[in-house]
Amino acid sequence: MKTEAQLNAEILSATVKIKEYAPELEKFIGEMPVTITDSDSDLVNHKILSDYLDSLNQMLKKYNEEKLVQFKLSI
């Protein structure tokens, strides 16, 4: 299991990737249904952070797949 610090670092990395390579996706970050709360339970916080990271990664994956399709169609 990843630590909270590792999850936060990966979330930061995914967010930076979005800002650098897919800035048009930035507007969706604030609209994501995942909410980070200040919970007393480390397990709950871990789950929330993990779900948020998964959401960011899924958004990037879908974006990359769509860009690839667009590229292939333009050839």
Sequential DSSP letters for the chain: ---HHHHHHHHHHHHHHHHHH-GGGHHHHTT-S------S-HHHHHHHHHHHHHHHHHHHHHHHHHHHHHHHHH-
| pLDDT score at 35 | 54
| pLDDT score at 13 | 95
At 35, give phi and psi (nearest 5°).
-120, 130
Work out the average pLDDT over 33-53: 76
Quick check: pTM over 0.75? yes
| pLDDT score at 36 | 55
Q: Is the pLDDT score of 2 beyond 70?
A: yes
| pLDDT score at 60 | 93
Residue 37 CB partners (closer than 8 Å, separation 6+):
44, 45, 48
Work out the average pLDDT over 13-41: 79
| pLDDT score at 39 | 59
Residue 69 CB partners (closer than 8 Å, separation 6+):
none
